[in-house]
Structure 1
Amino acid sequence: MYFIRYIIIDEMSFIGPKLIQHIDIRLCEAFPAHNQLPFGVRSIILFGDLGQLPPIRDIPMYASTSYGGTLWRSFITIITLKKIFRQIGDQPAQISFRALLSNLRNAEPTIADWQLLLSRENSTLSSVEQSLFLSSTHLFATNEMVSLHNKRMLLSLEKPIALSTVEQLKGITCSNPDEEQLESKILLCIGQEVMLSTNLWVETRLVNGALGQVKEIVYNGGERPPALPLFVFVQFKKYIGLFWDQYNPKNIPLIPISRGLRRQIPLKMAWALTIHKSQGLTLQRVTIDIGNTDRQGLTFIAISRVRDLASLRIHPPFTFQRYSRIQKSPYAAR
């Protein structure tokens, strides 16, 4: 701990004044010799885009007049990276898409951009294109819509579904179970699209948010649902570690893990995700429903998850009035 000099934090738009103040308090406790100075005289390096989604149940750091806001203003070196890699390309269509995303990020909606997006509305696509998007990741603004779509897709597999119920370990029950990361109940099925819900092996890309597909569910002899499986084989598309199965090198056996006072398989259904959960992801194809309300960065994050406009489907369509609400965020103009 003594040798720590730099602390790197990604997705800084999710950090509010409350969280940055907690980080400061803990570092000052860890390094008491320097507890009169911010962060215990450790260097904090923040990565991200403040035009993306703001913290949940908090406000952006730059909007605060509290001590957390003061800590934010202590960051005096800013390096701006100007080259876009996700939507790279010199074709006219790609240049137009990047310009659209720039307008979205800066809360400057235009009718031309809105019309361009509606060219990807489901009814305007050919039957061949529509079929390509049937298996695409769906992004929704609310957890309720995500849950509804995931359950609908799970039933469409028409295969046996196993319920895995969390094991509650002995101790004081957590006042907020969601903070323990593990679901109280998860549904498992062969062929199911899933997301890893915790960091297991960062070097191999088995990280929180990694996407995969369930290939096999294995139980201890004599056990059956709702008991926890012995392990679940999941094929992770971006896994780069050692092979567990030479014929299926991306298939990984996941065992139940413990977080806090819970023990569970660290998976969530992932045919659909909230737009919040998609921040930081690059998706091959995506269908988006931006909902009826907006907050800073919501529409921008949803539309910018793909590499090009052709990888995007809009369903259902939205009005220009809804699109232009990106201007109304209290933090849009900085």
Structure 2
Amino acid sequence: MEISQETDLLLPDMLPCAMTYAHASSNHQTGTDRMDAAIKFINTTNSHIFLTGKAGTGKTTFLKNLAQKTHKSFVVVAPTGIAALNAGGVTIHSQFLLPRGTFLPERFLPEDFNSNGSYFATDTLGRKHPLNSDRKQVLRAIDLLVIDEVSMLRADVLDAIDYRLKAVRRNFYQSFGGVQLLFIGDLYQLPPVVRGEDTQVLGRYYSSPWFYEAKALHHAPFVYIELDKIFRQQDNTFISILNNIRNNDITESDIERLNEHYKTEESIKEIQEVITLTTHNYKADELNRNSLRELDSPSHYYTANVQGDFPESMYPVLQQIELKEGAQIMFIKNDSDGKAYVNGNLATVKTLTEDSITVLMADTHETYTLKKEVWENKKYTVNANTRELDEQVIGTFEQYPVKLAWAITVHKSQGLTFDKAIIDVDQAFADGQVYVALSRLRSLEGLVLRSRINPRAIGTNKNVAAFDEQYNKPGKLLPELSAGQQDYAFDILSKTFDFENLVSEIRYAQKGNADVPVKEISTKPVLAQLEESLSAESGTTNKFKYQLDNLFQRGDNAMLLERIQKGSVYYKDLLYKNLDTLLRHIAETKQRKRVKTYLNSLNDLDQLLSKKIEDIDNAATLTRAILSGTDPEGLATLAESRATMRTALQQEIEKTIPPVVTKPKRKKGTRGEKDGKSTYDITLDYFNAGMTLSQIAKERGLTKGTIQGHLAKAVETGRVDIFKFIDKDRVEHIMQAIAEMPEAFSSKELFDKLGGNFSYGELRAAMAYAGKKVVEKKEK
């Protein structure tokens, strides 16, 4: 069937289609202009983007507002659990199921690495760490991948992400399988961590460990957008000093100006309601412990309520908080109910009871009664009914949002703002530490130095500085936007109305499920019907794409949009008929047993077919926005229309094929209480009944590490023998490491000492067995 009678295309003398950044008439954009430009790049190009900026320029705010600004489906990931929690996303390793260790960008591990479990290659990922159907569907559903705190992202991890996306989307021709990437972060702050021999190993493949060295980016350049409007500081002298530190241009005058704020220890003791930023955990912990010990009031303890799957590595505050009246505390998140406090506000504990904490706010001197906050651990899923990307809460952590705050590390001060702070950086050991510490302050007026600034400790990484100088070219933004929009428009026209990939997936599903004994809804197998229906359109589709390309190259925008609109109507009708056939087959297949793998294949095809309908539905709107330099409007209305259409199809199917009724399962994250029992007791009951840790984890919908953490509680109370669930050799290995630790240490420090070869659950159990009190110190 032909969809066009246009054979004689007009040849008007027209200008090429105009694709420019609307209202940006200058290369010297303001910070807000650059935020707008970043949204333009996201919405109207497929260009990868590095969004950076000095401390306090609005990167976090941009991410929080992104969902309201873009039509694209996206997930947010970050290198660490705490960073992911703060960004409202998930960890890179959990989303992409990456093993712990170092990724080598090879198909197979070199021979000298084969016996070393600390390294993995693409073959290792495919064979030993395959993605399940749910994870695959999420990665096929996204248009955009957001990576926050990208300064901590190593190049090898980014290459592992690249391989995962290419393999899942079966697109090895484009970087990241055709997914657009948005990198957010400041490379002058937290650097990527490379330990021991990994430095030499990574040196075989990368010039440096920073994300921009990834091989995936060698042929897929990214746009560099620096937000330059500083919202945190208004002190021009201070801003100038910070910029000089950042750019390795610090002067003697700058050092002298900073050291004017040095105070003796006697003077510092007189300062009230101020926090100390220091370089090392042990220094911060010692100051907090000593300060708490000096208070005469009794200790009160407040324990968090942890439900479902919430890994210990993600705990935002201590599971058990110890407080005394008079203790100095800091809020570690914004008030969810109002504006009583923001992340980083200081307060002093005024009164404590068993279930109440009252504090005196440092900034307003008002009394405030604390409320517990809930943090959510979530995972991304594809909604089975709508085929839209969704979020599912799988665990929660409820606790008072405070921590002792006479001191914190520079590392943990990331993202915080203080009116006044004592800075102690005489032992700075990493590039950027001094810059991060100083940039937490609003002005020089609030600076107190415990030790004088050493010019030799102020450096920023030369590799990063060279990268910044090479790529930070604000004047190139407009040409890059125009070129990116043209490429994106061409992609829409050439790929949206192409069904070869969809046909290939149908053939792949047929081949992989050739022996499945399922009753078909007609004499011809359903998948063969779908393949035949779409393959029959190849001639018509090729003609149509030729027409669109011809009109696009001529700049005949009006005719181009008209053809896209008419073609969209035709192809949506065709695809909805095929979707109806597929959904009926899925409904029938659900009536049968032992067809899980086949059903997963059908669900994958359902997702791909629904995604193709969405792309076609949006084609005219997106193309119009690109051609006119405006924001795409009306996409939400189109999404609602598709949801209504899908619901109608499903309702019609249910009239002839009733849905399968299954016994409802309790959702993950709600398995904490059963008949009045705590989540720990439920796990112990299963364990005492003879179930293995893996069986308990599967039954409860939790991770094996979480189950180990539950049993660690039982070890602490003497209700279970540690050797019943952890091998003796492993316990002894941990015990030896514990003996080498200082008096007070965290499970995170023990985890690092043991090279990440033991789970947090194993460590907590061994610490309980050793009678060692856990002093939690969460790393960001």
2:243 aligns with 102
1:142 CA displacement: 0.2
1:151 aligns with 289
Question: Could you say if the C-alpha distance between residues 302 and 63 of structure 1 is closer, same or farther in structure 2, counting changes exceeding 3 Å?
Answer: same
1:291 CA displacement: 2.6
Question: Could you say if the C-alpha distance between residues 130 and 235 of structure 1 is closer, same or farther in structure 2, counting changes exceeding 3 Å?
Answer: closer
RMSD after superposition: 4.5
Does structure 1 conserve the Cα–Cα contact (< 8 Å) formed by 2:315 and 2:397? Answer: no
Distance 1:263 1:110 in 2: 47
1:106 CA displacement: 1.4
Q: Deviations over 1:63-121 (max 9, x none)?
A: 33899722455451111223322222xxxxx3332221111111233211111111111
Matches within 5 A, 1:152-301: 152-163=290-301, 178=313, 180-181=315-316, 183=318, 185-195=320-330, 210-211=344-345, 213=347, 214=349, 217-219=352-354, 251-254=369-372, 265=399, 267-301=402-436
Does structure 1 conserve the Cα–Cα contact (< 8 Å) formed by 2:162 and 2:177? Answer: yes
1:64 aligns with 209
Specify the code of the residue in structure 2 equivalent to 1:87.
Answer: Q
Question: Which of 216, 222, 231 is equivalent to 1:76?
Answer: 222
Does structure 2 conserve the Cα–Cα contact (< 8 Å) formed by 1:28 and 1:39? Answer: yes
Question: Which of 144, 153, 156 is equivalent to 1:15?
Answer: 153
Distance 2:213 2:318 in 1: 31
Question: Could you say if the C-alpha distance between residues 165 and 25 of structure 1 is closer, same or farther in structure 2, counting changes exceeding 3 Å?
Answer: farther
Question: Could you say if the C-alpha distance between residues 192 and 9 of structure 1 is closer, same or farther in structure 2, counting changes exceeding 3 Å?
Answer: farther
Question: Could you say if the C-alpha distance between residues 84 and 180 of structure 1 is closer, same or farther in structure 2, counting changes exceeding 3 Å?
Answer: closer
Structure 1 or 2: larger strand share? Answer: 1
1:54 maps onto 2:191 in alignment: yes
Does structure 2 conserve the Cα–Cα contact (< 8 Å) formed by 1:169 and 1:261? Answer: yes
Specify the code of the residue in structure 1 equivalent to 2:223.
Answer: T
Question: Could you say if the C-alpha distance between residues 143 and 85 of structure 1 is closer, same or farther in structure 2, counting changes exceeding 3 Å?
Answer: same
1:144 CA displacement: 0.6
TM-score (ref. length: structure 1): 0.68
Question: Which of 125, 139, 153 is equivalent to 2:277?
Answer: 139
Does structure 1 conserve the Cα–Cα contact (< 8 Å) formed by 2:295 and 2:326? Answer: yes
Distance 2:295 2:403 in 1: 16
Question: Which of 251, 263, 270 is equivalent to 1:122?
Answer: 263
Question: Could you say if the C-alpha distance between residues 70 and 326 of structure 1 is closer, same or farther in structure 2, counting changes exceeding 3 Å?
Answer: farther
1:326 aligns with 458
1:6 aligns with 144
Does structure 1 conserve the Cα–Cα contact (< 8 Å) formed by 2:151 and 2:211? Answer: no
Which segment drifts farther, 256-265 or 3-12? 256-265
Question: Could you say if the C-alpha distance between residues 257 and 237 of structure 1 is closer, same or farther in structure 2, counting changes exceeding 3 Å?
Answer: farther
Which segment drifts farther, 286-295 or 50-59? 50-59
Q: Deviations over 1:123-176 (max 9, x none)?
A: 499x7x984x432111000001100111232234432112456789999xx8xx
Question: Which of 441, 447, 450 is equivalent to 1:315?
Answer: 450
2:769 aligns with none
Does structure 2 conserve the Cα–Cα contact (< 8 Å) formed by 1:182 and 1:263? Answer: no
Specify the code of the residue in structure 2 equivalent to 1:69.
Answer: A
Does structure 2 conserve the Cα–Cα contact (< 8 Å) formed by 1:63 and 1:69? Answer: no
Specify the code of the residue in structure 2 equivalent to 1:324.
Answer: R
Specify the code of the residue in structure 1 equivalent to 2:183.
Answer: L
1:43 CA displacement: 2.6
1:277 CA displacement: 1.1
Specify the code of the residue in structure 1 equivalent to 2:250.
Answer: P
Specify the code of the residue in structure 2 equivalent to 1:43.
Answer: Q
Distance 1:206 1:5 in 2: 37
Q: Deviations over 1:213-264 (max 9, x none)?
A: 4565554xxxxxxxxxx675678889xxxxxxxx96x644217879799977
Distance 1:264 1:217 in 2: 18
1:113 aligns with 254
1:305 maps onto 2:440 in alignment: yes
For the residue of structure 1 that corresponds to 2:222, the secondary structure is: coil
Distance 1:3 1:9 in 2: 17
Question: Could you say if the C-alpha distance between residues 144 and 40 of structure 1 is closer, same or farther in structure 2, counting changes exceeding 3 Å?
Answer: same
Structure 1 or 2: larger helix share? Answer: 2
Q: Which has the higher contact order (CA 8 A, sep 6+)?
A: 1
For the residue of structure 1 that corresponds to 2:223, the secondary structure is: coil
Question: Could you say if the C-alpha distance between residues 162 and 40 of structure 1 is closer, same or farther in structure 2, counting changes exceeding 3 Å?
Answer: farther
Question: Could you say if the C-alpha distance between residues 65 and 327 of structure 1 is closer, same or farther in structure 2, counting changes exceeding 3 Å?
Answer: closer
Distance 2:337 2:223 in 1: 29
Larger radius of gyration: 2
Specify the code of the residue in structure 1 equivalent to 2:242.
Answer: L
Does structure 2 conserve the Cα–Cα contact (< 8 Å) formed by 1:195 and 1:268? Answer: yes
Give unpaired runs (5+ residues) of structure 2.
Answer: 1-137, 378-393, 467-780
Distance 1:28 1:190 in 2: 56
Question: Could you say if the C-alpha distance between residues 26 and 180 of structure 1 is closer, same or farther in structure 2, counting changes exceeding 3 Å?
Answer: farther
For the residue of structure 2 that corresponds to 1:102, the secondary structure is: helix
Which segment drifts farther, 206-215 or 8-17? 206-215
Distance 1:180 1:326 in 2: 32
For the residue of structure 2 that corresponds to 1:302, the secondary structure is: helix
Does structure 1 conserve the Cα–Cα contact (< 8 Å) formed by 2:188 and 2:461? Answer: no
